[in-house]
Amino acid sequence: MTDHTFDLVVLGGGSGGYAAALRAAELGKTVALIEKDKVGGTCLHRGCIPTKALLHAAEVADGAREAAAYGIRATLEGIDPRGVRSYREGIVAKKYKGLEGLVKARGITVVAGEGSLEAGPAVRVGDDLYRGTDVILATGSYSRTLPGLEIGGRILTSEHALELDEIPSSVVILGGGVIGVEFASVWQSFGAQVTIVEALDHLVPNEDLALSKALERAYRRRGIQYSLGVRFQSATQTADAVTVTLEDGKTFTADYLLVAVGRGPATAGLGYEEAGVALDRGFVVTDERLRTGVPHVWAVGDIVPGLQLAHRGFQQGIFVAEEIAGLSPVLIPDTQIPKVTYSHPEVASVGLTEAQASDRLGADGIVAYEYNLAGNGKSEILGTSGIVKVVRQKDGPVLGVHLIGDRVGELITEGQLAVGWEAHPEDIAPFIHAHPTQSEALGEAFLALAGKPLHAL
């Protein structure tokens, strides 16, 4: 057995782990980054990046299919699964190579292997022990399933779906959250018949109700089917198909079933509890500064209760590295972290929904305004419909910004600034948005809430 000593040992090389390692090294710490697979984690290799590459390929397919509407003579001959796969893998490979270069340039020691936490604090990898003045736990998450629903064969998780070498003719998707509606969007654009099964009453149920309803309307127009408000009961498969049965007896049969019911914290069997780290339903218990109950042991990313977003883990990793260095950084609360669903159309939000704001301040204490993208020139050019919704405290700051429409994910950072800085619409209204851009729609909403709408009555 060999002992290795570092200022910081990071267990897990995903978004939170590698961000912590990079920032700590930048601050002069010696860092060991332990990863059993590839640095970059789920987001880079099996999540954010490859799925968004698929979504862009789907957008290109839709563009070819609809080209005549723009005066362009083009036809869609079909989808080449191998070509799409090659494009997707090329994007991931470039990003991975770049990340490897950054890690190497910062002098970070990357340890390949599965680690487990031990008292000290330290992380054991095989016969070697990596001791750190501080240890950060960043082991990420895994695709959940439901009791009695076994993954395999024609029953897939998102990771398996990425590896398919065919375009299914039909798919049932269990779960109408972010992962479910994104894969539904891709497969519909690629020509599959798609049905989403969501036990709650709406698609993307964590979003403002106006966005959920708008996405449901858009998906109906696209031909994406969905069942809402009825729970899954069982699934059976043959060599050729999967049949899904709901609790009301309704059945759906398709080539594949994608299970997209969320992600669980990857903490089992890693020595956390044995080393004294408290878990709650598998999640690591931390204080508001991301410290566990064990001195000098921290946790970031999907294993910490809250939003499971790569950029949240990334921000938390930077935060902890700076906290260890004594810089007293600011931790962004989950309500101020932007969320984007990269479907067609996109859904983006930050801050409180209208219902959440009403619960907090009362219905008379808030004002909500919706601006339809039909009035926005750039959205008309792009051929997208949608809405911009802003929620404010009455005579007070902006509490939430909620968008739906193609490419609106690029606008949500302005919404984050408004919410995070507790800006009043009157403060923002004088600022000019370039014309023609979709950002003008957000400007129109701020103008309206400031009492001086320009392109709306």
> From the CB of residue 234, how many other CB atoms can be counted at a distance below 10 Å?
13
What separation in angstroms does the CA of 210 have from each of 7, 33, 139, 187, 347? Answer: 48, 43, 35, 25, 11
Residue type, 287: D
CA distance 298 to 301: 11
Look up 45 and say whether it is catalytic: no
Phi, psi dihedrals of residue 379, rounded to the nearest 5°: -65, -40
Report the distance separating Cα 411 and Cα 345, nearest Å. Answer: 14
DSSP conformation letters of 283-319:
EEP--TTSB-SSTTEEE-GGGSSS---HHHHHHHHHH
Q: Which of 160, 433, 435, 455 is catalytic?
A: 435
Structure tokens that stand for 54 in this block: 């698929």
> Two tokens at 84?
């799409």
DSSP for 44-83, please give it: HHHSHHHHHHHHHHHHHHHHHHTGGGGT---------HHH
Q: Which residues are catalytic?
A: 435
